[in-house]
Amino acid sequence: GENVEQHPSTLSVQEGDSAVIKCTYSDSASNYFPWYKQELGKGPQLIIDIRSNVGEKKDQRIAVTLNKTAKHFSLHITETQPEDSAVYFCAASKNNAGKSTFGDGTTLTVKP
């Protein structure tokens, strides 16, 4: 089955700096790669996603890049703010499979 590895497990940055979280996946048939943000006491919430026919996607301060050949995708957060502090999960899935495989999560701390 699919295996998703996520790095780093913890990340601390100064407010205003950029943060990058990386994930690799094993199943070349995977074609959907969402990123979720989990705040304390809440369920994960989608922040951005990318499909395999696209190499990059941006939404304001957040961007995701996908390298299908290397089977890795990354989350980029620019101009970080304290409210970006949370746990971030990447995931991978493929059409009609019903299964989503998640990375182990990255705890991001943005210091004011």
Partner 1 sequence: EAQVTQNPRYLITVTGKKLTVTCSQNMNHEYMSWYRQDPGLGLRQIYYSMNVEVTDKGDVPEGYKVSRKEKRNFPLILESPSPNQTSLYFCASSPSGGKNSPLHFGNGTRLTVT
Residues within the interface to partner 1 (CB under 8 A): 1, 6, 9, 31-32, 34, 36, 41-46, 49, 51, 89, 91, 93-105
Q: How far apart are CA 78 and CA 23, in angstroms?
A: 18
16 or 104: whose CB is closer to partner 1? Answer: 104
The least distance separating partner 1 from the CB of residue 20, rounded to whole angstroms, comes to 19
Measured in degrees and rounded to the nearest 5, phi and psi for residue 40 equal -60, 125
The least distance separating partner 1 from the CB of residue 85, rounded to whole angstroms, comes to 18
Question: Other CB atoms closer than 10 Å to residue 78's CB: what's the count?
Answer: 14
14 or 96: whose CB is closer to partner 1? Answer: 96
Q: How far apart are CA 59 and CA 111, in angstroms?
A: 23
The least distance separating partner 1 from the CB of residue 65, rounded to whole angstroms, comes to 18
80 or 105: whose CB is closer to partner 1? Answer: 105
Phi-psi region of 41 (alpha: psi -120 to 50; beta: other; left: phi over 0): left
